[in-house]
Amino acid sequence: MLRTLLTAALIGSSVALLGSVSAGGDVREIGFAESMSPRALGPIRRDMTVVAELDSSSSRYLRGATLSDYRDGRWSGSIARPPVHSAGARAAGDKTRVAIVDHPEAYFLPAGAVVEAEERDHEGRRVLYFREGEPREGFDSRDLEIADELRERLRPIAERLAGGGDARERAERLRVRLASEKRYQLDFTAPPGVDATVYFLEEAEGGHCELFASAYVLLLRSIGIPARVVTGYVLSDEDASSGRWLARKGDAHAWAEVYVDGGYHPADPTP
């Protein structure tokens, strides 16, 4: 099945790296972004500012934005807004979860979450009461779009990595093989005027999460499997005093969602 949970090794090594901004000298900080242009990153500094707290979650992936449009090497999209089924303030119940989010618009909730209520805490942060469920978001035809020239260039690579089987089997096999053929590294530079994702697939030995997510989605689209890039955060550690799981600004990450079995399911190709 498509992988939806991060391993401890992944949390310790590959989680990163979106919306980097200069932090002085050649060192950069990272954080959530609503668009993505895979590119060189170089040295980074992990910002430990907490951006989301969850009392519990079946997935460590917190969706911020879904990116379906790919043009001239850049992904764009919109904030991932979960369905809202109002149950009144302070919804209660064994299955109700609580998320505290320090962002004016983004929700940073797992795929399939349904918001039941929202309020503000004493610090002005948004407090979301939600329930988890199976992803059942409607199909978006944009998640099959790929330029003809790019499709023809990437399809042979995708066919080799995906092999045979149904869409779920091919997507999972492609994810595993892509992660095994390329290594995770921040040191990546594409020549000027060259599509960074294509260069990553055809020439580079490895790259960072933006490149893995971008490549995975484009490869899937080239063989007719709907997919999109997702940006957000991963829950990285547990706060000893509150017992909540935390996502910090430096835990920004990019992964994919693949449309199979009537819903969009998280799949992370970064090794």
Please write the tens of the pLDDT for every residue from 184-204.
998 898 999 999 999 999 999
Q: What is the pLDDT of residues 156-183, one digit of tens each?
A: 999 999 999 999 999 999 999 999 999 9
Q: How would DSSP label each residue in 38-86?
A: -----SEE----EEEEES--S-SEEEEEEEEEEETTEEEEEE----B--
Residues 6+ apart with CB under 8 A from 110: 57, 58, 59, 61, 62, 63, 132
CA angle 56, 242, 112 (to 5 degrees): 20
Residues 6+ apart with CB under 8 A from 60: 5, 6, 11, 234, 235, 245
Average pLDDT, the chain: 85
Q: What would the two tokens of residue 35 be?
A: 């668009």
Domain ranges within the chain, ordered by starting residue: 8-47+57-80+140-243+250-267
The closest of 87, 5, 72 to 35, measured between CA atoms, is 72
Residue 7 has a pLDDT of 28
For the chain, first and last CA: distance in Å?
17
Residue 210, pLDDT above cutoff 80: yes
Token look-up 């290594």 returns 183
Residue 28 has a pLDDT of 55
Band of residue 56 on the pLDDT scale cut at 50, 70, 90: confident
Give CA–CA dist 265/238, Å, rounded.
25
Q: Are 82 and 130 in contact (CB under 8 A)?
A: yes
Residue 91, pLDDT above cutoff 60: no
Q: Are 16 and 252 in contact (CB under 8 A)?
A: yes
Tally of helices (H runs) and strands (E runs) in the chain: 5, 17
Give the phi and the psi of residue 178 in degrees, each rounded to 5: -60, -45
Band of residue 94 on the pLDDT scale cut at 50, 70, 90: low
Beta-sheet strands, E only, within 195-251:
206-207, 227-234, 237-238, 245-248
The CATH number of the domain covering residues in 8-47+57-80+140-243+250-267: 3.10.620
Output the CA torsion sign for 126, 129, 132, 137: negative
The closest of 77, 268, 83, 110 to 179, measured between CA atoms, is 268
Give CA–CA dist 220/227, Å, rounded.
7
